[in-house]
């Protein structure tokens, strides 16, 4: 077991009150590390260090292309330690090892993408009149806060921190108390860079303590948060109290819309993969299956057959599904399955799973639910587990109505060979991303990611995310 520390102002440190939090392996329930239980005082030290670094001449003198080279160096470091990081992520989150490798590879791509973009964030000139030179520049916002969820820690740190540093900001990361291992290892990579102290800071602690202190700190200039709607509202309100912008990615209840003319084998695989990724503990999970009524029985039989072949095990065993993160989340998932037994039909799964040698973990069979109302809690709320809700539709209009029938709007999958139908739905569905005859597009680090409605606002990933971390300045020069 390792006693990890925070990284503030270029130094490793314990919390100001010396309290710690146990970090557990979801696959076994065993304690694998301790982290400092960061306080408001610790957060304040980190923010002050980041503020001083941002205004310091050492950081201002770093050229844009040099910031890019630093991000390339982090990408190289991640690649060099690819095996170690994948094992850490699998152990810490519980996800299958192969999925953890995909997360590491995505992290490499984020740092490379934003490393290449660092010297390409351009300004503009605006023609006003003769004798007036008017130009617009994008400047860094200042100190950026990054509050990271537990389900994809390495990926989500990489996508926001890389964009923030590429544009010249300084950062304070608050990692999830459940899954801090890869965040700490990434911090060690940043420590090896020739960065001024305070440019990169990493605090640990409980969300409603350290996370809340960070979101509401008056010297923060932008907050990026991924998590639940309730916590996201609190984070957004805390930031707005200081008139600070925030980027909020708050989850989803994403549909796969399947038509009778779809390629059945590819569609089955896409639908299944979209709900079992990270044991369904992902905001973009394809949690609702909407199937054309005439095709429903045939398609469901294929999906149920595919579910019956899925394997469940510890993260490092690299089965199809790993464990649920902890007992609290496990009880929530099982409670929703119990509700499904009352309101509808559990077609397959729905039972706890015992994994030999890992009896301390929380495992659930992948589950398919049918027969519940479109406005049931099961259809409206995130379950955050490997649970698929099934509905049917008669025509495209009903499919559209069902797709838009939740408070979320993050991701949608459309499966059909009819491009007229696909384009029609894509133009009318309230969803930040629409995938046609695929789901996820290999992670797509270049593709802007974010949602409509209660899925949040702002966009991460891709070029659009760079603008989160810049502020426009207009300069007008009068000359004779």
The residue length of the chain stands at: 480
How many degrees, rounded to 5, is the angle at CA 41 between CA 37 and CA 44?
Answer: 115
CA 291 – CA 294 distance, rounded (Å): 8
Distance, CA of 275 to CA of 288 (rounded, Å) = 9
d(CA 312, CA 268): 19
Euclidean distance between CA atoms 267 and 55, whole angstroms: 52
Name the residue among 224, 211, 184, 192 with its Cα closest to residue 91: 184
391's enclosing H/E stretch is: strand 387-393
E-strand spans in 107-199?
Answer: 124-125, 132-140, 143-147, 170-174
Active site residue 398: no
Which residues have CB under 8 Å from 185's CB, separation 6+?
81, 84, 85, 88
φ/ψ of residue 337, rounded to 5: -65, -40
Please spell the DSSP secondary structure of 43-108, one letter per residue. Answer: HHHHHHHHHHHHHSHHHHTS-HHHHHHHHHHHHHHHHHTHHHHHHHHHHHH---HHHHHHHHHHHH
> CA 475 from chain center: how many Å?
37
CA–CA distance, 27 with 413 (Å, rounded to integer): 30
Asked if residues 181 and 33 have their Cβ atoms less than 8 Å apart, the reply is yes
Angstrom distance (rounded) from CA 64 to CA 295: 55
Closest by alpha carbon to 117, among 472, 470, 449, 463? 463
Q: Is the dihedral of CA 52, 58, 64, 66 positive or negative?
A: negative
Beta carbons within 10 angstroms of residue 129's beta carbon: 7
Q: Pick the catalytic residue from 177, 249, 382, 460.
A: 249
> 3-class SS at 296?
helix
Q: Which residues contact 189 (CB under 8 A, 6 or more apart)?
A: 74, 77, 78
Are 44 and 50 spatial neighbours (Cβ–Cβ below 8 Å)?
A: no
| Nearest in space to 91 (alpha carbons), one of 25, 184, 186, 23 | 25
In whole angstroms, what is the distance from residue 91 CA to residue 32 CA?
9
Residues with catalytic roles: 249
């Amino acid at each position: 077991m390792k006693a990890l520390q925070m990284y503030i102002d270029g130094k490793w440190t314990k919390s100001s009150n010396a309290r710690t939090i146990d970090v557990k392996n979801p696959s076994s329930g065993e304690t694998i590390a301790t982290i400092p239980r960061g306080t408001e005082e610790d957060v304040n030290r980190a923010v002050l260090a980041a503020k001083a670094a941002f205004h310091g001449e050492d950081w201002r003198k770093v050229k844009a292309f040099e910031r890019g080279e630093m991000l390339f160096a982090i990408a190289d470091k991640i690649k060099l330690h690819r095996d170690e990081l994948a094992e850490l992520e699998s152990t810490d989150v519980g996800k299958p090892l192969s999925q953890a490798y995909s997360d590491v590879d995505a992290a490499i791509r984020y740092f490379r993408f934003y490393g290449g973009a660092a010297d390409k964030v351009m300004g503009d000139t605006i023609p006003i009149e003769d004798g007036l030179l008017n130009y617009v520049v994008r400047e860094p916002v200042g100190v950026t806060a990054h509050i990271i969820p537990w389900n994809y820690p390495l990926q989500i740190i990489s996508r926001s921190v890389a964009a923030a540093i590429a544009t010249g900001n300084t950062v304070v990361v608050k990692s999830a108390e459940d899954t801090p291992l890869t965040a700490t290892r990434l911090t060690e990579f940043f420590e090896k860079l020739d960065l001024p102290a305070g440019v990169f800071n990493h605090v640990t602690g409980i969300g409603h303590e350290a996370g809340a202190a960070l979101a509401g700190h008056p010297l923060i200039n932008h907050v990026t948060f991924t998590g639940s709607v309730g916590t996201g509202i609190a984070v957004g309100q805390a930031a707005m109290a200081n008139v600070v912008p925030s980027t909020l990615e708050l989850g989803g209840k994403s549909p796969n819309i399947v038509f009778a003319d779809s390629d059945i084998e590819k569609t089955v695989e896409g639908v299944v993969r979209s709900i079992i990724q990270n044991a369904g503990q992902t905001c973009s999970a394809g949690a609702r299956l909407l199937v054309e009524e005439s095709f429903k029985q045939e398609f469901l039989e294929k999906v149920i057959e595919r579910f019956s072949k899925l394997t469940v095990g510890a993260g490092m065993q690299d089965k199809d599904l790993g464990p649920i993160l902890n007992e609290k989340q496990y009880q929530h998932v099982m409670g929703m399955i119990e509700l499904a037994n009352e309101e509808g039909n559990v077609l397959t799964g729905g039972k706890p799973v015992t994994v030999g040698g890992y009896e301390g973990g929380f495992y659930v069979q992948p589950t398919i639910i049918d027969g519940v109302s479109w406005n049931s809690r099961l259809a409206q709320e995130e379950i955050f587990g490997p649970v698929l809700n099934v509905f049917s539709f008669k025509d495209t209009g009903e499919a559209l109505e069902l797709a838009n029938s939740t408070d979320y709007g993050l991701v949608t999958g459309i499966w059909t060979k009819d491009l007229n139908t696909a384009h029609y739905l894509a133009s009318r569905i309230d969803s930040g991303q629409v995938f046609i005859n695929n789901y996820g597009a290999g992670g797509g680090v270049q593709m802007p990611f974010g949602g409509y409605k209660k899925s949040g606002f702002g966009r991460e990933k891709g070029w659009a995310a760079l603008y989160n971390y810049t502020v426009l300045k207009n300069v007008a020069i009068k000359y004779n």
